Structure 1
Amino acid sequence: MRGIHAIYTCGVERSLRNLDLNLLLSLDALLAERNVTRAAERLGLSQPAVSAALARLRRHFGDELLRRNGNRYERTPLGEQLASRTPGAVNAVKRVFDTVPDFDPRTAEREFTLVVSDYGATVLGDHVATVIGQDAPGVRLRFQQQTPHDVDHAIETLRSVDGMVLPHGFLRDIPVVDLYEDSWVCIVSHDNSRVGDSLTIDDVATLPWVVTYSRPTAFTPASQQLRIIGVEPDIQIVVESFLAVPFLVAGTSRVALLQAELAHRLADAAGVRILACPWDVVPLKEAFWWHPSFRADPAHIWLREVLQQAGRRITADAAIRASGD
């Protein structure tokens, strides 16, 4: 077995030695732009240089990758496969060479990519941006829109980003730090005359609903709890966005669940009322999940501390708001 391993390792090393990492950047740009000229502009290279790179890539893969169709290029089936893989590969390589023995946020120039829902970007993002703006002027944040696929394939997703902001209940056996706790509230339109000063279980059972991420592996936990107590909501609209929810409720008889932090930010702008849920709702515990390879990375340790600091700010703001109610 040792001999087989040595042969395999030698083969892998020889294969990597024959590759030029610059080709990975060219491949990523060509498949994204589907145009040699635009890819060259994106890379800051000449068109002949990128054409030569495309020729080398075609020889390597034994495939055209881009096929002319009239006045434009289309990706071949293999090109389509590679197009979904190359951005993650580029990010992974970039992070390898971004690794440093220590990290000084005051002088560092680095980009961190976080996979978040629009709720997370709105509620947590501004606090994170404030902390980073004060302490790390050369650091840049990229908030990447979270999808059900990202969550269902979390380990694969986390290989190509710095981490994912997601409540407990979806992932396990992945490194995590808790950030803050939020609650769920119901929202109805300001002019919804069918609902009084409080919401009843009968209201919940009879009113039409706007729900988010209504799939077997993508759901709002509080709506699952509603089903557990025997109430099947009349779902009229499903939307894969939390920010859109209050605007789909406004001016209608619909009801929806929303995180309290987000609801308080959007209620006035959307024209909705915030009401307590008429059933016991388990709080939402927002957390930050990351790939195990980042456990001892000084830059990533700093990032986790920043996220926890932002979480404490949210908790403090919620306490101030509660004391004023």
Structure 2
Amino acid sequence: MPFISQTYSVGMTADRVLANLDLNLLVTLDTLLRERNVTRTASRLGVSQPAVSGALARLRRHFGDPLLTRIGNHYELTPLAARVGELTGPALAGVRRVFDSTADFDPFRLDREFTLVISDYAATVLAPLVARRLTTLAPGVRLRLEQTTPYAVDHAAETLRSADGLVVPHGFVTGLPYLDLFTDRWVCVVAADHPDVGDTISLDQLAGLPWVVVFDRPTAFAPAARQLRMLGIEPHAEVVVDGFVQLPFLVAGTRRVALLQQRLADLLGPVAGVRTLTCPFDVVPVAEAFWWNPMYRTDPEHSWFRTVMTESARELATDGR
């Protein structure tokens, strides 16, 4: 949706401004501001690099601003571009909602991609249920799963400009609408043949054993690890990973210990060769939630997708945890 270069008079009305804009370049603008790179933008949009360069030139003329400035070997957003970037996602979503609207909403005829930013844990235990439900109810829908990162969670509002939902436990996101999904509990996992740990594990052992941890930063997604620190136990991180699925395989055959969600431990423990032990402290449960952008509050398609998420989570919760 490209902007046409134009000089606007002070008295020009909003309607006349819109009439002089080619909104097709809004997609290019949004992608450019997220990628901050012409080549990556062209690849993502499936167009030629000269086409994106030409679009950027028109955008710069329209805004009277370079938008992207070179700093060393990469580009940074100008202050104006940073402000515009906060608007492009909601604007695109609004345009799509206008042109995707139909008199009667029928999920079975829906042709849309829903993007979830989700941990590998939730992607393993919940996403298969969501995908199966979508296949049955809306075979034309595509589900895209993107791995959570500390940045994506710390900047949830920005993340949800380009994603339909963020699945992350309570305690990390505030100020956005959410739906509760399911709960789980943390357990300790050790090698099946661990030489120093029997049927139980103590706080002293947790303090003395080497650990596998996720991200190893305060805003990582394991509140139980924060609890340990509050008890005066600082886990000695021997291995740091960016997801939960790797944990049991990095514990197996070693003296290491890790905290893992019970459902994931039940799935992967027998394959990896690890044992599950009750935590020796009153550990907080995992309370997973689906966070979403308030711009979707009245979107019938997104409302339906939220129902799919909660119904899938209800199916998962029938195991009694």
**TM-score bucket of the superposed structures, by smaller chain:** 0.7 to 0.9
Kindly tell me: are residues 10 and 152 of structure 1, through their superposed partners in 2, closer, same or farther at Cα, counting changes over 3 Å?
Answer: farther
The residue identity in structure 1 corresponding to 2:293 is H
1: CA distance between counterparts of 2:296 and 2:31? 27
SS at match of 1:304: helix
2: CA distance between counterparts of 1:220 and 1:180? 16
How big is the shift at 1:57?
3.9
2: CA distance between counterparts of 1:145 and 1:9? 47
Whether 2:123 is the aligned partner of 1:124: answer no
Greater helix share, structure number: 1
Unpaired runs of 5+ residues, structure 1, are 1-6, 68-73
1: CA distance between counterparts of 2:31 and 2:170? 36
Q: Is the Cα–Cα contact under 8 Å of residues 91 and 161 in structure 1 kept in the other structure?
A: no
Whether 2:215 is the aligned partner of 1:216: answer no
2: CA distance between counterparts of 1:233 and 1:174? 32
Q: Which residue of 1 aligns with 2:310?
A: 308
The aligned runs of 1:188-267 (5 Å cut-off) are 188-267=190-269
SS at match of 1:137: coil
2: CA distance between counterparts of 1:226 and 1:41? 43
Kindly tell me: are residues 20 and 262 of structure 1, through their superposed partners in 2, closer, same or farther at Cα, counting changes over 3 Å?
Answer: same
How big is the shift at 1:203?
1.5
Q: Which residue of 1 aligns with 2:164?
A: 162
The residue identity in structure 1 corresponding to 2:112 is R
The aligned runs of 1:273-288 (5 Å cut-off) are 273-288=275-290
User: Which TM-score applies when normalising by structure 2?
Assistant: 0.80
Kindly tell me: are residues 97 and 207 of structure 1, through their superposed partners in 2, closer, same or farther at Cα, counting changes over 3 Å?
Answer: same
Whether 2:42 is the aligned partner of 1:39: answer yes
How big is the shift at 1:33?
7.2
The residue identity in structure 2 corresponding to 1:150 is A
SS at match of 1:138: coil
The residue identity in structure 1 corresponding to 2:42 is A
The aligned runs of 1:5-16 (5 Å cut-off) are none
SS at match of 1:143: strand
How big is the shift at 1:96?
3.3
How big is the shift at 1:138?
0.6
How big is the shift at 1:105?
1.0
Percent of pairs with identical residues:
50
Kindly tell me: are residues 66 and 22 of structure 1, through their superposed partners in 2, closer, same or farther at Cα, counting changes over 3 Å?
Answer: farther
The residue identity in structure 2 corresponding to 1:308 is T
How big is the shift at 1:308?
1.0
The residue identity in structure 1 corresponding to 2:24 is N
How big is the shift at 1:94?
4.5
Q: Which residue of 1 aligns with 2:298?
A: 296
SS at match of 1:306: helix
Q: Which residue of 2 aligns with 1:70?
A: none
SS at match of 2:200: coil
Q: Which residue of 2 aligns with 1:100?
A: 101
How big is the shift at 1:91?
7.7
1:74-132 Cα shifts (integer Å, max 9, x gaps): 764459x969x879936851553135365311111111111111111111110100111
User: Which TM-score applies when normalising by structure 1?
Assistant: 0.79
1: CA distance between counterparts of 2:152 and 2:15? 31
How big is the shift at 1:253?
0.5
Question: How many residues get paired?
Answer: 306
How big is the shift at 1:49?
5.5
How big is the shift at 1:142?
1.1
Q: Is the Cα–Cα contact under 8 Å of residues 164 and 292 in structure 2 kept in the other structure?
A: yes
